[in-house]
Structure 1
Amino acid sequence: MRTGLVLGLDGAGKTLLMRQLTAQLVHKQKSVLDRLATFLFSPCSNHFDRFKVDDGAVAIDANTQPTVGVEHWTLPLDGGRACTLREVGGQLLPMWPAYFESCHFWLFLVDASNATQLAAAAVELFAVLNMDEMRIKPKLLVLNQIDANFIIDDAVLQTYLCLDRLLSEPDSGPVQVLKTSALTGENTEQILKWLGQAAGNNMTVGRQNSTVEVRVHPIAD
């Protein structure tokens, strides 16, 4: 089973995102079983209209505490795949490098509503990218908490996070950028899709521009 690393400063929403992804997968599995039972046992002849699986966010507990250690989450993905996500707390920042070698891919969360933390988040992101073993691995930059009343402007995010540089360097390995809300579940289906590709080893590592997928969603005009 492939292992991913979930990184980010305190308050970026790592734990909430893990809860949302887990809840969505459980909900999806339950939806399939419920509809299968309806299909098999309901006297209604029009079964197939009931067999559609609803995707999207589910209600989760939004109360979290800063992760002071390491949390492990096992996610059953589509296609019979599964992956383990290792969430390392922001308070363990000096210990992050100890987990780099053992991961196959990684996610870095940035709180897109916290302007005062943006510079520090950018520093730590590029500290990770400066490690050769991490730069070439598949990576997902998650701009989280877009449900907040205040959101940092896209131009500011691109400047501080050097997105043009990140997405254009030929030796940076596969990279994707997503805007999401761990609380509401917005765009988290795209994260599950990305995890399915990463867990299936469907991302090429190396100096190939074709492996770099740019997805900042949504883009401001």
Structure 2
Amino acid sequence: MCLLLGATGVGKTMLVKRLQKLSSRDGKDDLGDPPLTRPTVGTNLTDIVAQKKITIRELGGCMGPIWSSYYGNCHSLLFMVDASNPTQLSASCVQLLGLLSAEELAEASVLILFNKIDLPCYMTIEEMKSLIRLPDLIACAKQSITTVEISARKGTGLSDVLRWLQDTHRTNG
């Protein structure tokens, strides 16, 4: 099981819909127009077939206080950050620290997604890594942490996410 977490409005639902389409297109990069999405209230389960079936459980950002009740059986964690929203970054950092310190997630591989890089006001990856003190987080975390810049809307970086999911679930089951 893969958990997809992040604050409200960071683009989790768009990511899942785009990954599902990308995985069903045999590597063709043309994803067409972005799908319409609504804020997730509750949880969505989506299966992505990438060499094998990977189930992604997306939890709505508003469910942050009860995310921990979904940590069991989590092999990988996608944590999404809105790269165009600097005011939300500190709250996202606090959420990420909570996830990294959770005992149930100690064995999970973590992919931090810096989304919305297609917007003119996005922060660079260097700025975001500095603001959330990513090198310190990586040094202290038990988990393997990877980062990628993406645009779920445009499809930028999604093949890297799919490849990470394939590699992670090949070794973790």
Equivalent-residue separation in structure 2 for 1:195 and 1:92 (angstroms): 24
- Give the counterpart of 1:125 among 90, 93, 96: 96
Equivalent-residue separation in structure 2 for 1:191 and 1:117 (angstroms): 23
Equivalent-residue separation in structure 2 for 1:115 and 1:167 (angstroms): 21
| Structure 2: gaps spanning 5 or more residues | none
What is the letter of the counterpart of residue 80 of structure 2? L
- Give the counterpart of 1:191 among 146, 156, 161: 161
Aligned to 1:77: 50
Instruction: Give how far 1:57 is off.
Output: 4.1
Equivalent-residue separation in structure 1 for 2:61 and 2:148 (angstroms): 20
- The question of 1:106 aligning with 2:77 is answered yes
Instruction: Give how far 1:202 is off.
Output: 5.3
Equivalent-residue separation in structure 1 for 2:55 and 2:147 (angstroms): 21
Aligned to 1:68: 41
| Contact residue 20 and residue 60 of structure 1 kept, 8 A | no
What is the letter of the counterpart of residue 5 of structure 1? L
Instruction: Give how far 1:186 is off.
Output: 0.7
What is the letter of the counterpart of residue 31 of structure 2? V
TM-score (norm 1): 0.73
Equivalent-residue separation in structure 1 for 2:66 and 2:133 (angstroms): 25
Aligned to 1:165: 136
Instruction: Give how far 1:26 is off.
Output: 1.9
| Contact residue 111 and residue 118 of structure 1 kept, 8 A | yes
Instruction: Classify the secondary structure of the residue corresponding to 1:158.
Output: helix
| Structure 1: gaps spanning 5 or more residues | 29-53, 204-221
What is the letter of the counterpart of residue 21 of structure 1? L
| Contact residue 34 and residue 154 of structure 2 kept, 8 A | no
Matches for 1:3-22 after TM superposition, within 5 Å: 3-22=1-20
Q: Residues 159 and 173 of structure 1: is their aligned pair in 2 closer, same or farther, counting only changes over 3 Å?
A: same
Instruction: Give how far 1:103 is off.
Output: 1.2
Q: Residues 202 and 131 of structure 1: is their aligned pair in 2 closer, same or farther, counting only changes over 3 Å?
A: closer
| Contact residue 57 and residue 186 of structure 1 kept, 8 A | no
State how many pairs are aligned: 173
* RMSD value, Cα: 1.7
What is the letter of the counterpart of residue 169 of structure 2? A
| Contact residue 47 and residue 56 of structure 2 kept, 8 A | yes
Equivalent-residue separation in structure 2 for 1:196 and 1:141 (angstroms): 16
Q: Residues 102 and 60 of structure 1: is their aligned pair in 2 closer, same or farther, counting only changes over 3 Å?
A: farther
Structure with higher Rg: it is 1
| Percent pairwise identity | 30
What are the superposed Cα offsets for residues 183-219 of structure 1, whole Å, 9 maximum, x if unpaired? 111111010001001221259xxxxxxxxxxxxxxxx
| Contact residue 82 and residue 199 of structure 1 kept, 8 A | no
| Contact residue 23 and residue 60 of structure 1 kept, 8 A | no
Matches for 1:181-220 after TM superposition, within 5 Å: 181-201=151-171
What are the superposed Cα offsets for residues 76-108 of structure 1, whole Å, 9 maximum, x if unpaired? 113xx1110000000111110000122111110
TM-score (norm 2): 0.92
Misfit runs of 4+, over 6 Å: none
Equivalent-residue separation in structure 2 for 1:136 and 1:99 (angstroms): 15
